[in-house]
A and B are shown apart, each in its own frame.
Chain A
Amino acid sequence: MTVPETDAELLVRSRQGDESAFLLLYRRLESPLYRFALNMTGSPASAEDITQEAFLALLREDCGYQPERGTLSAYLFGIARKLVLRHQDRNRPYVELELGDTEWQYPERAAGPDPMREILEREALELLRRAVVSLPRRYREVVVLCDLQEIDYAEAADLLGCPVGTVRSRLHRARALLLEKLQPRREPRPDPNTWNTARSLI
């Protein structure tokens, strides 16, 4: 058995014109990259564009990938993040998330053949999805990678080019922001003291 080639080795072969190497590389890395773009933009069309552009960047003459500076995944994600930013600039003015008065309550135990319940769950998930997309970018990135794509902190830190501690603190803040967004506005919030007590429980 031969040892599987690394992503960097496949890139070398791709750039020498080896189509099968390029295809293999694409199939290895496409899914997480596409999902990231999809979750970040909320748009399948944009996700497709971003994925395509990121892979094409690998073939360009000025491709600046340096293996000693990081993984190829991280390099690709770096390109995708820039493209997400460009996507947002194009889609300004940024539409503020309007959740209205809908109460967001996700049942802890899902499933069951109750159709009404399923509809409510659908709606709750849709609200949550929109809340994620409306997060500021640096918070959205960690929620997308760690919570939605279930990538561990260390790998997320690698992909985002930041320390693991930053991933943790951003994630903590991101989840608090999500809860704020999902609370109907008329609801009274717990006062700061009770918040602190609750936070200390986590």
Chain B
Amino acid sequence: MPELEPAGKSFAHIRECSACARLLAQQRALRAGLKSLAKEQAGAEPPARLETALLQEFRRQTHAWRGRPAMPVRETKTAWWLRWPAWASAAAVTAALVLLLAGGRVGNKHAPSGSTAAEAETASYLDSGFVPLPYASVSSLGTEPDLVRLEMPRSALVTLGVPGAADVTGDSVEAEVLLGDGGVPEAVRLVE
């Protein structure tokens, strides 16, 4: 609240003018009243049942995501996570650089062809703990994504929201990366 104390000449006026004195008193009273209300409601918390209800809804929804694999993270262009901010893309670029420098193909898993099969395959990857990189598109994973295993900066994985990365100690961690068409890193997960 603004300071309501009159000073100098104004104070003299307040002493002589009952209307202004009254107004000033009211403003002080309002300030005190609002402060009391603020203090009174400072401890107001939503009831605990709200947290329970939200968690239930969370579980129901994440279950629905599993039924429809990778829904929240597999949409192209318009997916919310694709519009992720600079920090995420910077981290992704770092990750991509690390990956490209590390190079090396480990394993070459062949899957049945056909787009439905590809989707199912992708879904199964995403279901098994892989987190798509921000620029990734599901289609480029194709039916034969390559899997590479390499050391990555832990901070990059944390930034990308890779499950478990925040709990690991040390600056670098071992990660598995799915490479899409052209060897572009598309998804990453922590090696347990």
Which A residues fall within an 8 A CB radius of B? 2, 5, 8-9, 12-19, 22-23, 26-27, 30-31, 34-35, 38-39, 47-48, 51-52, 55-56, 59, 61, 63-68, 104-108, 110, 121, 124-125, 128-129, 132, 143, 147-150, 175, 178-179, 182-183, 190-191, 194-195, 197-198, 200-202
Q: How far is the CB of A177 from the nearest CB of chain B, in Å?
A: 11
CB proximity to A under 8 Å, residues B68-117:
71-73, 80-81, 83-86
New A-B pairs, 17, CB < 8 Å, besides A64-B80, A201-B20:
A12-B161, A16-B72, A17-B65, A19-B59, A30-B50, A30-B51, A35-B41, A39-B41, A59-B57, A61-B72, A108-B28, A125-B33, A125-B40, A132-B37, A175-B1, A179-B23, A190-B19
Give chain B's interface residue range (CB within 8 Å of chain A): 35 or more
Of A61, A106, A143, A197, which is within 8 A of B29 by CB? A106
Q: Which residues of B contact A15 (CB under 8 A)?
A: 72-73, 81
Task: Give the CA-CA distance A81 to B65 in the complex, in Å.
Answer: 28
- Whether A147 and B19, one on each chain, are in contact in the complex, defined by CB atoms closer than 8 angstroms, is no
Chain B interface main SS type: helix
User: Known interface pairs A13-B161, A63-B80, A179-B26. Does A124 touch B33 (Cβ–Cβ under 8 Å)?
Assistant: yes
- Whether B4 and A201, one on each chain, are in contact in the complex, defined by CB atoms closer than 8 angstroms, is yes
Q: Which residues of B contact A47 (CB under 8 A)?
A: 46
Q: How far is the CB of A19 from the nearest CB of chain B, in Å?
A: 6
Chain B residue with Cβ nearest A193: B19
- Whether B28 and A16, one on each chain, are in contact in the complex, defined by CB atoms closer than 8 angstroms, is no
Of B47, B53, B71, B83, which is within 8 A of A61 by CB? B71
Chain B residue with Cβ nearest A27: B51
Q: Which residues of A contact B86 (CB under 8 A)?
A: 68
- Whether B166 and A2, one on each chain, are in contact in the complex, defined by CB atoms closer than 8 angstroms, is yes
Q: How far is the CB of B30 from the nearest CB of chain A, in Å?
A: 6
Q: How far is the CB of B155 from the nearest CB of chain A, in Å?
A: 9
- Whether B54 and A67, one on each chain, are in contact in the complex, defined by CB atoms closer than 8 angstroms, is no
Chain A residue with Cβ nearest B84: A67
Chain A residue with Cβ nearest B65: A17
11 contacts between A and B (CB under 8 A): A16-B131, A17-B66, A22-B55, A22-B58, A48-B50, A52-B53, A68-B86, A179-B27, A190-B22, A194-B19, A200-B10
